[in-house]
Structure formats: C-alpha cells, structure tokens
Chain A
Amino acid sequence: MAISVDVRNLSKNYGEVEALKDLTFSVSKGELFGFIGPDGAGKTTLFRILTTLLLADSGTASVEDLDVVKAYKQIRRIIGYMPGRFSLYQDLSVEENLRFFATIFGTTIEENYDLVKEIYSQIEPFKTRKAGKLSGGMKQKLALSCALIHKPVVLFLDEPTTGVDAVSRQEFWEMLQRLKSQGITIIVSTPYMDEATLCDRVALIQNGRIMQISRPAEVVSTFPLGLFSVSSADVYRLLHDLQKLPKEHSVFAFGQVVHLSYREDELTRDDVIDFLKEKGHEEVTVEEIKPNIEDCFMELMQKE
C-alpha cells in the first residue's frame, strides 16, 4: 500500500528531556492511525514536527513524499491540523472562523461544502454565535470543520476527544469513520485507551518511545500472559491481598473487579481461589478473560 507519512529515526530533545527517542513508523494512504498514550508521551511534539511547526533534532519525516523541512510550504497546503488546545478565534462567529480558514487556503466554504456538510450542518444553526461561547462538543465540531475546509489529503488531530463527554466522543469517532471512507489519511492521538479499537492501526507511545505498533486486535492477541478477572465482597482489600500472591504476577483494579495477569505455567485458577479463601474473602469469583488495550498498555509499560 502506498505510504502517506513516513518517519525514520526521529528524535527531539527539550534541554535534558528526551521528548522523542528514535521513532520509526509509516502510515499508509487512507489509513486511520492512532497514537495512544498519556500526557507527556511525546504525541504533541510528534504532531508538531509532522505538521512542520517544529524541527526535529535528528531523523527524517515526510508527508505525501514531501520532506517536512525542505518542502514545508507544500505540506502546509495539503494537510489539516487540529491542535490539542482550542485554537480558533474566540471573538469571531462560527461562520467567520470557517470563512477565514477557507480564505487563507484560497478556497470558499461553498466550494468544499460537501466535505464539511455532515459536521458543519450540526453547528450551522448557531453560525452567528461567537466561537468562544460554544459548548465543548460544538467547539470540537467547528475546529474539525476548519481543519477540513481546504480538502486536506492528510488530517492530523491532536487529542480531539480529551475532556469531551462520552456521547460527543462517540459521535466524533463516527465522523472520523466517514472521513476515512472518503480516502483522507487520518492521524489521531488520544489518551483514552478504549478509542484504540476504533483505529486501523495504533502506536502505543510512552516516554517518547513507541512500545508497539499493530492492529488493535493484534495488540490484544499478542498479550504474553494469562489474565483473570477477580472479584470479592471487598475490592480494596482484594487488591492489596492479591499483590501478595507468592508468584510472579501483576494486579490492577478495573472498577469493581481486579485484573490479575500471570505466567500460565505458574498459576492456576484454583491457586487464586484457595489463596483468597485463606485470606478470608467472601463471594470470590475468578474468571479467565481476554485482555483489553489497557491491560496490554500496562504490561508494556512494566516491561520498559
């Protein structure tokens, strides 16, 4: 498949802080590619380098075969970028913002209306409202409309769903799927692990390093350990007691249950049940489960 974004051995330091450490990856044309990781992982630094707003210390990067340093002007014409912080003009109206972005790219709202129609029509009834007065979900839709109005080939979305409620988040991902179906390459970052499953491929990123790149289903299927979901009448005590299990393992709370990952040759379900009964736990259940992305992320973090 043809390559849209190609990154080779990219590094960036801020003083003594290594923000990106030797990143290498590529994104195919038309792919929905996710960077999943917490604040401080290096997501924004990477996005700023790829959108030609920041220079790397070493390594190379290209977007649609254009080098991010030599051909930055051409890249800027063909990409859309939605930064993490709301960056539209608060004192301009919804429509004025969109018209402004269309004009600087030498186009008009009318010319590319079809592309933004589905998103923009939801906020169009409020087109005379100042952008600063919009709710979180509406700001997000306007920002996406502005990033799309010049019909970009590649779209960079830096944490578009952070701080947005679950309903707006779901709607936003539905919009991304529709954009993807129109052939736009989309690179998106998020700290929400559950959003990984909505991407074609994901890079799990932590401390400036990519820990794993694969399809979401592969992330889960390559989990190297067994996993139990354990519950009892007292979850807090359960968590602390399970940490004392005399075998190599790790234990993390998942709401009302605890996930216990273990080496399959070292621990059985009965071992866990016996151990907890000995500790006086009641209503104990131990169930073999498949890991989710968060289990995998934490396992990779511990290996690092």
Chain B
Amino acid sequence: MKKGSTDIIIVKDLVKKFGNFVANDHLSFEVKRGEIFGFLGANGAGKTTAIRILCGLSLPTSGDLSVAGYDVYSQREKIKQNIGYMSQKFSLYDDLTVFENIRFYAAIYGLSKKEIVQRADVLMKKLQLEEARNKLIRDIPLGWKQKLALSVAIIHDPKIVFLDEPTGGVDPITRRQFWEMIYEAARNGITVFVTTHYMDEAEYCDRLSIMVEGRIAALNTPLALREEYQAKNMNEVFLKLARAQTEEVA
C-alpha cells in the first residue's frame, strides 16, 4: 500500500480537562499519510474529546498538535477546510434529496458550482445512485446512505477523513463494501481516522490505538497487538485492556 512517511497528524502530550476531570491524559501519537488508523476505546474513555480537538472544534488544555500541517490552536479554520467528517449519528439530511445533500456538502466545503455538478455526477454514477438522484434521503436504504455519506465527506479531496462509528447496523455484506471504499480512499492518499465498536472491524486498520481512562493503553498493528496480548482476536485484546476500567470512574 502506498504510504508516505510524512506524519499527517502529530499529537504530543495532549491534555484536556473539564474542571477537575481529565478527559485526555497526555496523549502522544502520530498518524501517517494514507494510513487507516483505528481509534478504539470503551464508552467514556475520551475518544470523542480527542476527535473534537483534532477536528478543530475544541481547544486542548495543553500539548502540541498539528493536523494536516496546521496548528490546532491558531489555524483551526485551515484544519476544517482540509478534513472530512462522517458519523452514523450526523451525516445526511433526511428531508433533502440525494443530489441536494451532495450539493449542500460540496458547497460547504467550498467547491465551485461547476465542480459540484461534475463531482456529483461522477459520485452518483459510481454508487449507482443515478436513479435515486431526486429521492429523499429518508427513502433510501441505510447501506446506500452510509456509502453516500462517506463519499460526501471526501468530496473535496481532504487530507484526512474522520469516521466516527460509521458502520453501525448495516448488513455484513454492505459493511464490507463500505470498508472497500475506505481502503480505496486510503489508496488515493486520504488518511482515514476511524472509531468503531465492532472489534472485528478494527482488524481492517493499519494501526490501532486503544484508549482506557483518558490514556492510550496500546498502539500497534492489529497483528502485533494480538501477539503482545496473546489474544486470538481484537475483542480479546480490548477486553484485557479495558476490563480493569469500571465505567463508574468515567
């Protein structure tokens, strides 16, 4: 797989506190260009807090962070222009049509009218959504929605796309088609930063970090993690690391 050696995300000693509560406790990691990086952790481990900071939506308490070459304190608008974001909870507008959603997001990401029309056509053809062009999002199947949501999140060729639990609830075949799209995006040089509760999906990532109680408890390739924790799958690795944590603490 083509991967640049350049780090597209650099995080050094990230600390984020809410009052006395430490949500991110000295996180340090790098993500390489074109890498599929899995960001795992139990509910309440601090994943969302860290993602919001990386997306330029919230400021760290302390630490040095660079995202797509921009500083998270002083260049947050630049960061937002160079990333895409998709989550299962917030993706497309149900009461707009397929085309209207594409046009809306493409315009928000600053594409010109001409580019929007061109890319919308290419995208709908690729997803075989041409006949659904004028259908409301609420009337198309969940699997189509997810594929469209991912395509829309990268319509502006961002350097990084953040996928926050993108695949919940779809059938296993659709889920795999979705991951093929993720692979394709990574091949095209887009760095993929993904969170998921499906531990089998974690195995699709190039590298994984597992957060426990605000800290990164492990970071490596899926294979190396399985060997290190003598586990037969990622679920076992995750349980071994996260078992100690009681959610009452979070």
A residues sitting closer than 8 Å to B (CB atoms) are 37-41, 125-126, 135-138, 162-168, 170, 191-194, 206, 234, 236, 239, 252-256, 294, 297-298, 301-302
CB distance B238 to A166 under 8 Å?
yes
Chain B residues with Cβ under 8 A from A191's Cβ?
Answer: 168-170
Residue from B42, B141, B202 within 8 A of A40 (CB atoms): B141
B interface residues, how many (CB within 8 angstroms): 40
CB distance A253 to B180 under 8 Å?
yes
Instruction: Indicate whether A194 sits within 8 Å of B165 (C-beta atoms), given known contacts A135-B250, A167-B245, A256-B223.
Output: no
Chain B residues with Cβ under 8 A from A166's Cβ?
Answer: 42, 197, 199, 235, 238-239, 242
Residue from A162, A194, A236 within 8 A of B200 (CB atoms): A194
CB distance A164 to B200 under 8 Å?
no
Residue from B43, B142, B234 within 8 A of A136 (CB atoms): B43
CB distance B247 to A135 under 8 Å?
yes
A82 to B178, CA, bound (A): 30
A298 to B171, CA, bound (A): 9
CB distance A40 to B200 under 8 Å?
no
B131 proximal to A (CB < 8 A): no
Q: 14 pairs across A/B with beta carbons < 8 Å?
A: A37-B171, A39-B169, A41-B171, A135-B250, A163-B168, A165-B242, A167-B238, A236-B1, A253-B204, A254-B203, A255-B204, A256-B203, A301-B171, A301-B172
B158 proximal to A (CB < 8 A): no
Q: A137-B247, A191-B169 are in contact. List 7 more A-B contacts (CB 8 A).
A: A39-B170, A138-B247, A162-B169, A164-B43, A168-B42, A206-B171, A255-B201
CB distance A193 to B172 under 8 Å?
yes
A138 to B43, CA, bound (A): 11
CB distance A168 to B247 under 8 Å?
yes
Chain A residues with Cβ under 8 A from B179's Cβ?
Answer: 253
Chain A residues with Cβ under 8 A from B171's Cβ?
Answer: 37-38, 41, 206, 297, 301
CB distance from A128 to the nearest CB of B (A): 14
Chain B residues with Cβ under 8 A from A239's Cβ?
Answer: 180
CB distance from A172 to the nearest CB of B (A): 12
CB distance B183 to A236 under 8 Å?
yes
CB distance B169 to A38 under 8 Å?
yes
CB distance from A174 to the nearest CB of B (A): 12
Which of A166, A168, A191, A256: most chain B Cβ within 10 A?
Answer: A166
CB distance B203 to A38 under 8 Å?
no
Chain A residues with Cβ under 8 A from B165's Cβ?
Answer: 163
A302 to B43, CA, bound (A): 34
A217 to B197, CA, bound (A): 25
Chain B residues with Cβ under 8 A from A252's Cβ?
Answer: 172-173, 176
| Interface 1/0 per residue, B186-208 and A, CB below 8 Å | 01000000000111111110000
Residue from A135, A164, A234, A298 within 8 A of B172 (CB atoms): A298
Chain A residues with Cβ under 8 A from B173's Cβ?
Answer: 252, 298, 301-302
Instruction: Indicate whether A294 sits within 8 Å of B141 (C-beta atoms), given known contacts A164-B197, A253-B204.
Output: no
Instruction: Indicate whether A135 sits within 8 Å of B1 (C-beta atoms), given known contacts A38-B171, A294-B172.
Output: no
CB distance from A42 to the nearest CB of B (A): 13
B243 proximal to A (CB < 8 A): yes
Chain B residues with Cβ under 8 A from A253's Cβ?
Answer: 176, 179-180, 204
CB distance from A6 to the nearest CB of B (A): 28
A297 to B176, CA, bound (A): 13
CB distance from A216 to the nearest CB of B (A): 16
Which residue of chain B has its CB nearest to the CB of A234? B1
Which of A37, A165, A193: most chain B Cβ within 10 A?
Answer: A165
Q: Which 3 interchain pairs have the tightest Cβ spacing?
A: A255-B203, A38-B171, A39-B169
Which residue of chain B has its CB nearest to the CB of A138? B247
A242 to B174, CA, bound (A): 18
CB distance B42 to A167 under 8 Å?
yes
Instruction: Indicate whether A165 sits within 8 Å of B172 (C-beta atoms), given known contacts A40-B142, A253-B180, A253-B204.
Output: no
CB distance from B47 to the nearest CB of A (A): 10
A40 to B168, CA, bound (A): 12
CB distance from A51 to the nearest CB of B (A): 21
| Interface 1/0 per residue, B147-186 and A, CB below 8 Å | 0000000000000000001001111111010011001000
A302 to B176, CA, bound (A): 14
A223 to B169, CA, bound (A): 24
CB distance B42 to A165 under 8 Å?
yes
Chain A residues with Cβ under 8 A from B44's Cβ?
Answer: 135-136
Chain B residues with Cβ under 8 A from A254's Cβ?
Answer: 200, 203
